[in-house]
Amino acid sequence: MLPILLLLLSALSPALAWIPVEDWESGNVTASVGESGQCVCHVYLPETTFPADRVEHMQQVSKDLILEVEIQMNKIVSYEGKLEVYLKDLKDLTVRVAMLESSADNYIKLDFELLRIELREFEALVSQLKDSLNSSLPLFDSLYIEIRNMTLIVNQLETYDKSNLEVIRIEFAKLQKKLEECQKEQEFIKPDIGNCNHTGIMSISKPMVVQLNAHLNAGFQYGGWGKDSKPVRGYESMYFYGAYSGPYVYDFYLYSNYENLILRSAFKTHDLPNGWEGTGNNYIVHGNTIYYQHNTPLSMTKLNLTSSKYDYRVISSASTKFSYSYSGNQNIDFAADENGLWVMYASEESKGKIILAKVDEKSFGIEDEWNTGVFKQLAGNAFMTCGVMYATRSVDLTTEEIFYAFDTKTGEERHLNIPFQKFQEKYTNLDYNPTDQKLYMYNNGYYVSYNVRFDKE
């Protein structure tokens, strides 16, 4: 009778079906006949509650672990690219050290010092990468050992440099002179940010060349780079970059700080959608918004970097016939200074002379206009500082000069002669940034910047 009861119980209660047969046969189930002759079964079950909450917890933990693994894998892929760049730089240094080993007498003290500086910078980069990865991989220890070995070789080779003692003394004297010049340039390092208590630009520093563009492509000669001229909170250190092989605008790259700009590690990329592509390269970032030129129709266009929303305003009098001398399509030029946002263009009515206009940021319209006396096609570029427009032109292959100024407060114009060096002959973007009082130039594919010195007397 017991086997029949087992079948009945299993059919009536599926939850009982998983109980081992031996438990049924070991006294956990008893059977008897009731008063009315019916069959009565007594079942004594062990703990049968299924741990559903524990299974659910394990599933959630599993999902979290999978997500964490994906995050770490993405980090590894990202840092693998950076590590390749570092390894290439290290290889270049290795070649240079090998050259020193083969002919140390042909090098002077300054070469050794520059090598040491580069080795220290490389060691710092590797340390930063190691901290970012939070890793103790043997690869990093190997890099540290190789860098230190190279440093020892450089130090040792320097002691053998006996034949160039007089050259070293001369170079050391030059270096001392440069240090004295650097001390005089302290005014550049600590500018009076945000103030216009001066009479205008007095001089421009020597160019500071950062590196080739983020595409590492010398063919990307048209573009621009720089910082937000009115940054929002949290983005004070942000840099932007955009470039192409022609005078067009298709995308922008944003970097959280200077280090990520150097490492070409953008935190965001804006690919301009069909119909919103730009032309010319006189764009800027102001108030977390990119202002650039759009040609269909010819208009001021802006892209809000937070909302990714686009907007445009047509300048009816602006003409496409007048561009700066270094490249075509430079018809609408945006600028920003301590007084706000500006735009410059030329028209048929102005006969090619630059018209300077103040932009109302809220309405995105023209607030006021001034007619200047400089022909746009004769200028290399133009920028604004403290309500004054400055125009530049070429002197020779390596020299540019600020030759014209127009003051919007007085309506007066001045002819100037403020020369400054170019890294290469042609450039497509030159803008002043009031947050650090620097000029940012995109010079034939390279990031170049200048400190601006104002006449405070």
Rounded distance between C-alpha atoms, residue 104 and residue 112, angstroms:
10
* Residue 119 shares a structural domain with residue 238: no
Burial of 252 (0-12, 13-18, 19+ CB in 10 A): buried
CB burial class (10 A; 0-12, 13-18, 19+) of residue 83?
Answer: middle
Domain match, 145 and 22 both: no
Question: End of a domain among 180, 215, 246?
Answer: 180
131 occurs within a structural domain: yes
| Residue 422 falls inside a structural domain | yes
Q: Is 48 inside any structural domain? A: no
Q: Judge if 21 and 118 occupy the same domain.
A: no
- Residue at a domain's end among 180, 204, 234: 180
- Range among 20-24, 133-137, 306-310 with highest mean pLDDT value: 306-310
Residue 255 near residue 249, CB atoms below 8 Å = no
Alpha-carbon distance of 312 to 299, in angstroms, equals: 6
CATH number at residue 347: 2.115.10
Q: Residue 155 is part of which domain span? A: 64-180
**Lowest model confidence (mean pLDDT) among 26-35, 263-272, 391-400, 404-413:** 26-35
Is 53 within a domain?
no
Residue type present at position 434: P
Q: Are residues 101 and 211 in the same domain?
A: no
- Could you tell me if 122 and 147 are in contact, meaning their C-beta atoms sit under 8 angstroms apart? yes
Placement of tokens 């048929």 in the chain: 348
Count of domains observed in the chain: 3
Structure tokens at 446: 């390279």
Q: What span, in angstroms and rounded, lies between the C-alpha atoms of 326 and 425?
A: 9
- Asked if 264 and 371 count as a contact pair (C-beta separation under 8 A), the reply is no
Residue 387 lies in a domain: yes
**pLDDT for 180 beyond 80:** no
Query: In this structure, are 80 and 126 located in the same domain?
Result: yes
What amino acid is encoded at 150 in this protein?
M
Residue 148 falls inside a structural domain: yes
In a domain, 187, yes or no: no
Nearest to 9 by CA among 31, 36, 27: 31
User: Concatenated DSSP letters for 89-146?
Assistant: HHHHHHHHHHHHHH-GGG--HHHHHHHHHHHHHHHHHHHHHHHHHT---HHHHHHHHH
Render pLDDT for 355-409 as a digit per residue (tens, 0 to 9). 999 999 999 999 999 999 999 999 999 999 999 999 999 999 999 999 999 999 9
Identify whether 20 is preceded by a cis peptide bond (ω within 30 of 0): no
Does residue 57 fall inside a structural domain? no
| Same domain (yes/no): 27, 74 | no
CA distances from 417 to 33, 201, 393, 404, 456 (A): 120, 11, 10, 8, 18
Q: Are residues 167 and 287 in the same domain?
A: no
**How much is the average pLDDT of 19-42?**
62
Q: Would you state the pLDDT for residue 115?
A: 67
Looking at the fold, whether 136 and 21 belong to one and the same domain comes out as no
Question: Does 141 share its domain with 219?
Answer: no
Report the distance separating Cα 354 and Cα 376, nearest Å. 6
Model pTM score: 0.61
92-101, 106-115, 310-319: segment of lowest average pLDDT: 106-115
How much is the pLDDT for 28? 62
Q: Distance of CA 404 to CAs 91, 244, 373, 456, Å?
A: 47, 30, 9, 19
Q: Tell whether the model's pLDDT for residue 29 goes beyond 70.
A: no
Report the chain's mean pLDDT, rounded to a whole number: 80
In terms of domains, do 326 and 428 share one?
Answer: yes
- Do residues 299 and 424 both lie within one domain? yes
Whether residue 128 sits in one domain with residue 255:
no
Q: Identify the weakest region by mean pLDDT among 63-67, 117-121, 177-181, 348-352.
A: 177-181
> If pLDDT is split at 50, 70 and 90, which confidence band does 139 have?
low
Q: Which residues, listed in sequence order, are joined to residue 370 by a DSSP beta bridge?
A: 356
- Pick the last residue of a domain from 180, 211, 231: 180
